[in-house]
Amino acid sequence: MKIGVVCYPTYGGSGVIATELGKALADKGHQIHFISYAMPSRLDGYLENVFYHEVEMANYPLFEFPLYTPALASKMVEVARFENLDLIHAHYAIPHATSAFLAIYILVIVFTFDTKLIGTDFTLVGF
Instruction: Tell me the C-alpha to C-alpha distance, in Å, between residue 98 and each of 5, 44, 103, 104, 113.
Output: 14, 28, 9, 10, 11
Please indicate whether residue 37 or residue 115 has the higher confidence score (pLDDT).
Answer: 37
Whole-number average pLDDT of the chain: 86
Question: Can you give the CATH number for the domain in which 31 is found?
Answer: 3.40.50.2000
pTM of the model: 0.81
Quick check: 5 and 34 in contact, CB under 8 A?
Answer: yes
Which domain, by its residues, includes 116?
2-125
Sign of CA dihedral 111, 114, 120, 121: positive
Q: Where do the DSSP E strands lie in the chain?
A: 2-6, 31-36, 50-54, 87-91, 112-116
Determine the residue type at 76: M
Residue 92 CA to residue 83 CA, distance in Å, equals 23
> What's the total number of domains in the chain?
1
Confidence of residue 19 (pLDDT cuts 50, 70, 90): very high
Span 62-119, pLDDT tens digits: 777 788 999 999 999 999 999 999 999 998 888 888 999 899 888 876 556 777 777 7
